[in-house]
Structure 1
Amino acid sequence: MFPERRLRRLRKRNLQPLFRETRLDVSDLVMPLFFDETIEAAVPIESMPGQYRHPIREAGAVANRLEKAGIRAVLLFGIPVEKDGGAHSAYAENGVVQQAVAGIKAACPLMTVITDVCACEYTDHGHCGIIGETCSGEIDLLNDPSLALMQKIAVSHARAGADMVAPSCMLDGMVQAIRTALDGSGFSEVPIMSYSTKFASALYGPFREAAASGYSFGDRTTYQMDPANAREAFRESAEDAAEGADVLMVKPAGLYLDVLASVRELGLPVAAYQVSGEYAMLKAAGERGWIDERRCALESLTCIRRAGADLIITYYAEDVARWLNEEQ
């Protein structure tokens, strides 16, 4: 076909914007936030430059700043004063996330507040639910007792005013259990964004510092996904879709674009979480001058969008909002 067909014709600089297939917009972004019940002033997260643990009293101010930047949605994580084996503070009426939700909604009623539904930040062992002896005699996460815990947490978040709950514990049946609990408590209109395909990734390290959620024994490979398994990853999301999830999620994002694209085929809205390790690597390389951080961050997020994500949860959300505004 050469020279009749010349693909470079449409790559002239003035033509490129007209034919761009994938666009990144600030409305695609969700900003994760950490609220710490034990502090009175913001504390920098060393392994995630530019990110902070915030005191509860600053929830409204933080939300105001993000809203002015154009961010429409946040995902909340909490660090409580007290931890125990039953994660009781995770569903306390005046718990850290519950207070943060109330503060944000009071200051910014139109901000979409999504809450992470899990127990790892609230248990003294750092695992994502109730620990006990399994039928094989091992000490591990117990699925069904942990489902009852997630029901309590989700309902408490909805009661506090959360617009959406996001279970991240990778328990079998978690979406159905939470949907039943929400509906039975009068919150049938609260949607569930399920961490439906969450891998046991090495990229979560900085998050463990941020959320004080490191585990005291073992690992999470008996409930999170093996990074090698693509077909199983699809089945995990398909199960959650069948149980009534409103939004599916793939986590991490950048290394799993193939999985993200396949989950998109289920027909539900899809979120992708650009996790702490992905953020930290870009920041570290940028600080050393090895890469252009801004260009690489925007490229990575555009590729996540191209692979099929409707929403992108990213620690770059506020930066990207500023960058996109500067380009206009």
Structure 2
Amino acid sequence: MYTQKLRPRRMRISPAMRAMVRETTLSAKDFVYPLFVVPGENIKEEIPSMPNCYHLSVDNAVKAAQECWELGIPSVEVFGLPEYKDEDGSSAWDMTSPVQRAIKAIKEAVPEMMVVGDVCLCQYTSHGHCGHLEDHYVDNDKTLKLLQKVAVSQAKAGADIVAPSDMMDGRVAAIREALDEAGYVNVSIMSYAVKYASGYYGPFRDAADSAPSFGDRRQYQMDPANAHEAIKEVDLDIAEGADIIMVKPALAYLDVVRQVRDHIHHPVAVYNVSGEYAMVKAAAANGWIDEKRIVLETLMGMKRAGADIIITYHAIDAAKWLKEEE
């Protein structure tokens, strides 16, 4: 009687066996949870296009950060809606703005938590673009000076990491110079090095009130068709002093994540963006998918593709589910 000697199924026979030979592991320690802070007090308002995500006043942002820490999530990234907007987005470096106050308050409440500041201008400018405008064109070099102010203000508030997401050329070098000159040599830069002009950002623009008032951002964000260009952007940002490299979005660009991971020895982050999140939530609400299974499988896919860090709105739920499985 013929005997099959090679039986890969032996390694799948039980939960204990599958766990023993598992190649990739997912942990709450992999996650960064995004927070949207707004002016005011005692505010917690659900974002319509992002169920279970909220606009939070600083006091409630602190509570959310504390919940993350208790679940084993080591980091939050702080986004904000300002009290005022103008042409150059000056509220982005105002120390009384919600982001700076939230960073400070979170670091005071949970000193060991890693706090990331999003360095961009779109939610602060009256026109919704990511920099200084000259005749409907975002002026790259004038924008760099504004980004320097934002990064330094966030470092002053207590940010451990600043994350420029604007896609201006030379921004990492400019921010590194400004941080060092201000005495923040130990503040790291997590560069949105590979940020595509994506349709997956729609719900975020609702959450951050950051939709451009005209045109789009294809002049400065990357063409979704390009992968070789991603490696060029990564190399430039590393040469300029980036400590962590990000690919955004994550799900439709896992091939790019793998190429970046194979190319560099820096930590690689991915952003599991709002559109990816909203699609899962909508399908789950209709009973079409098993939300827990889909979320954990998706996050595992990002980790398997090479991500060391996953910025995700699913972080709190995923951390709870992973704890249940321990």
- Structures share fold, TM-score greater than 0.5: yes
Q: Distance in 2 between matches of 1:4 and 1:238?
A: 47
2:257 pairs with 1:260 = yes
Residues 243-254 of structure 1: pairs in structure 2 closer than 5 A: 243-254=240-251
Tell me the equivalent position of 2:313.
315
Tell me the equivalent position of 1:306.
304
Contact kept in structure 2, 1:261 and 1:307, CA below 8 Å = yes
Give the aligned residue type for 2:25.
Answer: R
Larger CA deviation: 54-63 vs 94-103: 54-63
Q: Distance in 2 between matches of 1:313 and 1:263?
A: 17
Q: Distance in 2 between matches of 1:77 and 1:219?
A: 21
Q: Work out which of the residue numbers 190, 193, 198 in structure 2 matches 1:196.
A: 193
Residues 117-196 of structure 1: pairs in structure 2 closer than 5 A: 117-133=119-135, 139-196=136-193
Contact kept in structure 1, 2:197 and 2:218, CA below 8 Å = yes
The aligned length equals 322
Tell me the equivalent position of 1:136.
none
Shift of 1:39: 6.3
Q: Deviations for 1:219-247, whole angstroms, at most 9, x for unmatched residues?
A: 00000011110111121111111111000
* TM-score, scaled relative to structure 2: 0.97
Q: Distance in 2 between matches of 1:59 and 1:278?
A: 23
Contact kept in structure 2, 1:60 and 1:106, CA below 8 Å = no
Q: Work out which of the residue numbers 223, 227, 230 in structure 1 matches 2:224.
A: 227
Identity %: 52
2:235 pairs with 1:238 = yes
2:278 pairs with 1:280 = yes
Tell me the equivalent position of 2:66.
64
Tell me the equivalent position of 2:294.
296
Shift of 1:176: 0.4
2:70 pairs with 1:73 = no
Q: Distance in 2 between matches of 1:54 and 1:323?
A: 24
Q: Secondary structure at the match of 2:51?
A: coil
Q: Deviations for 1:53-90, whole angstroms, at most 9, x for unmatched residues?
A: 00123232222122112211000001001000011110
Give the aligned residue type for 2:202.
Answer: G
2:30 pairs with 1:28 = yes
Give the aligned residue type for 2:199.
Answer: A
Q: Secondary structure at the match of 1:113?
A: strand
Give the aligned residue type for 1:326.
Answer: E
Give the aligned residue type for 2:181.
Answer: G
Q: Distance in 2 between matches of 1:109 and 1:244?
A: 26
Contact kept in structure 2, 1:38 and 1:81, CA below 8 Å = no
Q: Work out which of the residue numbers 107, 110, 127 in structure 1 matches 2:109.
A: 107
Give the aligned residue type for 2:305.
Answer: A
Q: Work out which of the residue numbers 209, 212, 217 in structure 2 matches 1:212.
A: 209
Tell me the equivalent position of 1:37.
39
Give the aligned residue type for 1:292.
Answer: D
Q: Which consecutive unaligned segments of at least 5 residues does structure 1 have?
A: 134-138
Contact kept in structure 1, 2:83 and 2:97, CA below 8 Å = no
Q: Distance in 1 between matches of 2:130 and 2:223?
A: 17
Give the aligned residue type for 1:42.
Answer: K
Q: Distance in 2 between matches of 1:18 and 1:116?
A: 38
Shift of 1:189: 0.7
Shift of 1:27: 0.3
* TM-score, scaled relative to structure 1: 0.96
Q: Secondary structure at the match of 1:102?
A: helix
Q: Deviations for 1:268-324, whole angstroms, at most 9, x for unmatched residues?
A: 100000000000000100111111111000000000000000000000000011001
Larger CA deviation: 316-325 vs 234-243: 234-243
Q: Distance in 2 between matches of 1:62 and 1:320?
A: 15
Tell me the equivalent position of 1:92.
94
Q: Distance in 2 between matches of 1:40 and 1:82?
A: 20
CA RMSD of aligned residues (A): 1.1
Contact kept in structure 2, 1:272 and 1:304, CA below 8 Å = yes
Q: Secondary structure at the match of 1:232?
A: helix
Q: Distance in 1 between matches of 2:18 and 2:71?
A: 27
